[in-house]
Amino acid sequence: MESLFIDPYLLFLIAGIVGFFMAFGIGANDVANAMGTSVGSKAITLKQAVIIAAIFEFLGAFLAGGEVTSTIRKGIVDPTIYSDDPNIFIIGMLASLLAAGTWLLMASSRGWPVSTTHTIVGAIVGFVIISKGISFVSWGTVSNIAGSWVTSPLISGLLAFIIFKTAQHFILNKSNPENAAIKVIPIYTFIVAVVISLVTARKGLKHVGITWTDNEIYLYTVIFSMLISFGTFIYLKFNSAKIKTNGVESAFAVLMVVAACSMAFAHGSNDVANAIGPVSAIFSTVNNEGAIGASSAVNTGVLLLGAVGIVFGLAFLGRHVIRTVGEKITALTPSLGFSANLATSMTVVAASYIGFPISTTHTLVGGVIGVGIARSAKDLNLDSIKKIITSWLVTIPIGAAFTVLFFVILRLIFGV
């Protein structure tokens, strides 16, 4: 077996730093995306968005981020083809993380909402092509992921359209919408709580050593969701006079907080894989003294690293993309923003639940477009939508190109 090119502990440190860099980029771009609707609809302030995201992104990544990680880890390429070249494999994973993180920071500083899933997939494809050749890429897997980049915004857009239409029918168009909101909004919060509870209980709690039967999961999910729903009802009831004074949208602003929590949790559970997948691959290879396996257990410490990096990225650089998504696609109200967020979180959590990586960016933009159509298609900013789609199209080739560049540089530095 070929010996590692540097000391394992130094390699752990380098991989951790580079992984944190990638997670920082995710926080700056995708998490800002997730919170953009909440800030854009004026339901919460930017400071509140950062606090909410910090808590629920961390919980989603740490408790429920393991399943998708394994898909990114070995879905695009069979890592065993590097069994005789563990150093090349490690250098390639480092180059992929550096490439993806660099592009995300460039895009985020300019307010471009690009896909981190696009970015890391393109980066790893670039590594495989330069190191082994185009025939070694698992193009079937890549095409399936690419298909989700089309289907996820369509599904989210349709769900957002339906959710907003139900809100119109049961609340907004009623003769007394404020009273209707007090009765109906707790039902929406129940649905949001169920989405979060199921994904956490069924696949997240195992990371902290808790194992429940299916019946226990369903029972605790219903109890927790009913408590959240009841708490929402009590809050709205006690603030009914304020809701009547400020209008029904103020009630949806309360709901947006719950939806924002769901969206942040969903994003953390799905997109942490884009940062920690390559890091997990490096750690596994080093721990096995250069042996590359077809699979590896998710390291809790690596999950923690990705979760913290995401939160820092949002806090320090997230405001730019927040403005793009929250204000430049369509004018958002709390009811519209809630509908888009709930549809997005349901789509992303479902994908994370089955271990299938999708783009949160595409899913959320699809949801925002869906509510824009539900209200009035003429209110959509087509120029902004075109610019966003263009940024999506260039992300994969740029990710691949940057990887090639960093791969060559790292080989020269370490003499591999």
**Helix 382-414 crosses helix 360-375 at what angle (to 10 degrees)?**
180
314 residue type, one letter = L
> What are the pLDDT tens digits along the chain (416 aa)?
567 788 888 999 999 999 999 999 999 998 776 688 888 888 888 888 888 888 888 888 777 766 555 545 456 777 778 888 889 999 999 999 999 999 999 999 988 888 888 898 899 999 999 999 999 988 888 887 777 778 889 999 999 999 999 999 999 999 999 999 999 999 999 988 887 787 677 666 665 567 788 888 889 999 999 999 999 999 999 998 989 898 999 988 877 887 778 778 877 876 777 788 788 888 888 887 777 665 555 677 888 888 889 889 988 898 889 888 888 899 899 999 989 988 988 887 787 677 676 787 888 899 999 999 998 888 899 998 998 888 888 998 999 999 999 999 999 999 98
Helix (H, G, I), strand (E, B) or coil at 200: helix
How many CA atoms lie within 13 Å of 137's alpha carbon, on the beta-carbon side?
A: 18
- From CA 130, how far away is CA 132, in angstroms rounded? 6
> Token pair of 258, please?
């719950």
Look at the chain and count its residues: 416
32 closest CA partner among 293, 306, 327: 327
Indicate left, alpha or beta for 292 from its phi (over 0: left) and psi (-120 to 50: alpha): beta
Which of 20, 19, 18, 15 has the alpha carbon at shortest distance from 4? 15
Q: Tens of pLDDT along 50-65?
A: 888 888 888 887 777 6
163-189 burial, b at 16+ Cβ within 10 Å, e below that, comes to bbeebbebbbebeebbebbbebbbebb
How many Cβ atoms are within 10 Å of 254's Cβ, its own excluded? 20
Q: What is the DSSP letter of 320?
A: H
pLDDT in tens, 353-370: 776 767 878 888 999 999
Kindly state the tokens that stand for 274.
Answer: 């884009």
What SS3 class is residue 365? Answer: helix
| Residue 4, token pair as written in the block | 């590692």
Query: What integer best gives the mean pLDDT of the chain?
Result: 85
Question: pTM score, two decimals?
Answer: 0.84
